[in-house]
Amino acid sequence: MEIQSIKNRFGIIGNSAALNHALSTAAQVAGTDLSVLIVGESGVGKEAFSNIIHALSSRKHNPFIAVNCGAIPEGTIDSELFGHEKGAFTGAVDSRKGYFETVNGGTIFLDEIGELPLGTQARLLRVLESGEFIRVGSSKVQKTDVRVIAATNKDLLDLAQAGKFREDLYYRLSTVPIRVPSLRDRKEDIPLLFRKFSSDFSEKYRTQSLQLSPDAQQLLMDYPWPGNVRELKNLAEQISVLSTEREITSDMMRAFMPNGQSRSLALVQPAGIPIPSPSGENKYDNTSEREILYKLFFDLKKDLNEMKQMLYDLTNGGGNFSHTPAADNYSSYPVPETNVPQPYVPQGASSPVVIHTGDNMAQHEEVEDSLYLADMEKEFIVKALKKHKGRRRDAASELGISERTLYRKIKEYDINE
């Protein structure tokens, strides 16, 4: 099947050589039953390639199912994939078929395959090698005929070296690897994609189509697009809805891009935290807002812990402590030569500050710090979910954690999305 026919049929936009090569490989491998590993960054459209492979295969009239491995909790993923028997675990009130059983004869797409637990990886390897699986809580071996297409945005060999992914499973999955190029590697396709998205949204929202000036097109092509096609589509939708002008210039485009400018010049910098350059001007550091906030938070926690330790030493060290600038505020208050903790009154205070010492103090601080960290973590998660309107995958990417970890944290903190 010709590449252009595939593009027309599945709505693929672009003419870059890397994209055409990926489509050609998908078309060639579709007629076989080989396992396929689709590799690419988040947002490049890996699931679209799985649909193409299935639709062009001899299994096209049989079931197809896409499973996000990172979105299923670790404790239930075996049950989801392979099924379970009644009473296999708490809550298993009935027997249940898994995806490999219900999709027998069809195709299963395992997205974010790198998030699979090691135990589940062993079960999957057995399916790939012999077509056999066992339900959770059963000893009966069952057979299935399912083609597996997997996708990942991680380097599975690096995970294998770190002991987080089975190397034998990697080689079994990647019989035919397909690398989907990132958007910054196919810059010539960006104006075409933007035009297609803006046209779709103008029809959806009943507005006039957008027109890009040459400098606006160049700005889009210079931007690195960390969110790839998904990010470009979101930008096109924002402009289609919010812009009062239909002729978009580069200055107007910057108003909708992160921090009002192209990330090719700088990454997002939180307001109020300028980073001085050697020339005296305020430049933006290549650090995300989230990373800076985390650094400030942990630096503050470290300072608090050092202050607690200093106060503890003052009340229990018998006055034998090294002179530091931080201790100058307390130098006018003698520390008793006794093991009994005494209250002290800092300069300008009207009442003594009681310092608790011993094991109770350590336990109190540990619990207090733990609760404080939990509150901060919950706050970050709530803000990320709110920012991305409940989209867990985007929120997890923002927080720098896996979607499964985010799901567990939502349950742990009882967060209402």
Residue corresponding to tokens 């330790």:
309
Do 15 and 157 reside in the same domain of the chain?
yes
* Strand, coil or helix: 153: coil
Cβ atoms of 298 and 290 within 8 Å: the answer is: no
d(C-alpha 194, C-alpha 129), whole Å: 43
pLDDT score of 401: 83
Do 96 and 129 reside in the same domain of the chain?
yes
Query: Looking at residue 259, which CATH number applies to its domain?
Result: 1.10.8.60
Do 145 and 210 reside in the same domain of the chain?
no
Indicate whether this model's pTM tops 0.75: no
- Render pLDDT for 239-297 as a digit per residue (tens, 0 to 9): 999 988 989 999 999 999 886 444 443 333 333 334 343 334 443 344 445 555 555 66
**Which residue has better confidence, 357 or 245?**
245
Q: Which amino acid is at 241?
A: V
- First-to-last CA distance in the chain? 45
In a domain, 343, yes or no: no
Domain count, the chain: 2
In a domain, 347, yes or no: no
Residues belonging to the chain? 417
Query: Looking at residue 80, which CATH number applies to its domain?
Result: 3.40.50.300
* Residue percentage of the chain with pLDDT more than 70: 73
Q: Does residue 193 surpass a pLDDT of 70?
A: yes
> What would you report as the CA-atom Rg of the chain, rounded to the nearest whole angstrom?
28
The Cβ-side half-sphere exposure at 334, using a 13 Å CA radius, reads: 3
Among the three residues 181, 199, 230, which one is the final residue of a domain in this structure?
181
Beta-bridged to residue 150, according to DSSP, are 37, 110
Domain extent for 190: 184-265
- Render pLDDT for 34-53 as a digit per residue (tens, 0 to 9): 999 999 999 999 999 999 99
Among the three residues 235, 265, 295, which one is the final residue of a domain in this structure?
265
